[in-house]
Amino acid sequence: MKMPTGGKKKTKVWVVENDQVRPRSDQLVTEEPLEIRLVLPHRTIALTMRTPGDDFELAAGFLYSEGVVSSREDIDKISYCVDPDLDGEQLYNIVNVQLREGLSLNLQPLERHFFTTSACGVCGKASLEALQLRECPIIPNGLQVSVEVIYSLPDKLRQVQRVFSSTGGLHAAALFDTQGQLLSVREDIGRHNALDKLIGSVLLSGKLPLNDSIVLVSGRSSFEILQKCLVAGVPIVCAVSAPSSLAVELAKEFGITLVGFLRGRRFNVYAGKDRIHTII
């Protein structure tokens, strides 16, 4: 298999406008499958539809969010699969993850992930009780940011969404500091994949937890988006669209500030408003 071509592909479309039809070239978001495998035990743990790129970060972030690994040191190696029957050709849609020797594994929770769509991940398959059993800590409450910082986040994200600007079909997850400085951004056709890539990049660089950070996601904030942010220690989660009811419950239960409908100079705070110091 050839190396994935990246985040977008060209196509021909016909534009219908005011009863006139004209052809033009357009850009589409690339969507391809990614199989995530463990080397030992040899097992496929997830199959997701994603936009090629940052695949190792996606795998690392997924394993961290699901509690399979708890630190960078738990991962010995991540590589693309090599097919011995094809003269050692690399298979760029299969990622092998080799965990450190002796790591105790509980893979049962991953059974729900065997196939994950790019659209909605595994929404509704987890519960607050499962997070409590994993002993996820409540996020400390000392952090505060200004309302002006929250206002500024969407524009800063749009300025760096390279593939979205040409396709209009890509989600993003961005990491900011408390002054609103953009630290990192990842894009993918799936909201959950974009966040896994972002968290995976921080995990592999040894910078977790994210106790002094803000995460902004495009689209809505689901339970799984909040779950991933909780495991990474993110105190403030913002979204340009609505949260789900279970996302709000999780935010309240674990002390996360949850902002939704962040557009222009307006947003809703669904939990943890004390961290935004102008509205205490």
Active-site residue set: 120
Best CA proximity match to 8, nearest among 25, 23, 27: 27
Q: Are 15 and 24 in contact (CB under 8 A)?
A: yes
Count Cα neighbours of 236 within 13 Å in the Cβ-side half-sphere: 31
Chain mean position to CA 151: 22
- Residue type (1 letter), 108: Q
Question: If you write DSSP's letter for every residue of 30-79 in order, what string do you get?
Answer: --EEEEEEETTTTEEEEEEEE-SS-HHHHHHHHHHHTTS-SSGGGEEEEE
How far from 182 is each of 140, 159, 191, 211, CA to CA, in Å? 22, 11, 18, 16
Residue 52 contacts residue 32 (beta carbons within 8 Å): yes
Residue with tokens 């534009």: 15
- What are residue 234's phi and psi, to 5 degrees? -80, 125
